[in-house]
Amino acid sequence: MEGLVNFLNDIAIAGSWLLPTACYIAACMSFLYAVWGMWQQRQPQNPFVGKPWIPYVALVLSGAFAAFDRILTKAAKSAKLDMQVSLNSSSPTGYTGNTSPISGAGPHDAILQIVRDFSLFFQTFGAWVAFFALVSWQGAMTGKNNRTKLGLLCQFALGVVLLNPVKEANWLLSYWPH
């Protein structure tokens, strides 16, 4: 178990280092798309004839990608997760060899310990899920994919929920009979 936890924590740290880069690349691409779209609206071959709001929404998404950590923090506070999301630092949580991974009085405690061990991976995965929800929303807005806005909102909400997996595991296990 120690090797798997350390391996997934290393993957999570790599993902947490790549996420700010992906956010800033997406912000730059959205900003360039917004500027190009605003310029195209003045041209006779305007591709946004029926959807003149698309360049302006791309400009808003550019800001959302640039401030992605603050967006996730506000979404986590709205979900009462009491988390501060930061994209410029990672706090690795490795496996501690002196404690038993299955400790406690039953499966409830064992599951909570496993979730605690893998929490960094869940947090990074949740941030990536929320990031791809925003990327897919831009594609749905422009008509490049066939995703529904409600499905993307649910995907973003799932990403926010995964930011604090221990709290959500406690909530799910509260329905588990002891």
In the chain, where the domains are located = 2-87+100-173
Per-residue pLDDT of the chain (178 residues; tens, 9 = 90+): 778 888 888 888 888 889 989 999 999 999 999 999 999 988 888 888 888 888 999 999 999 999 998 888 888 888 877 777 776 655 444 434 445 555 566 777 778 888 888 888 888 899 999 999 999 998 888 888 888 889 999 999 999 988 888 888 888 888 877 6
Question: What is the tens place of the pLDDT at every residue in 57-88?
Answer: 999 999 999 999 888 888 888 887 777 777 66
What count of Cα atoms within 13 Å lies in the side-chain half-sphere of residue 120?
Answer: 22
Which tokens belong to 16?
A: 């947490």
- For the whole model, what pTM was predicted? 0.81
**HSE value, Cβ hemisphere, 13 Å, CA-based, for 7:** 4
- Contact by Cβ (8 Å): 23, 68: yes
Of 159, 144, 168, 150, the closest CA to residue 68 belongs to 159
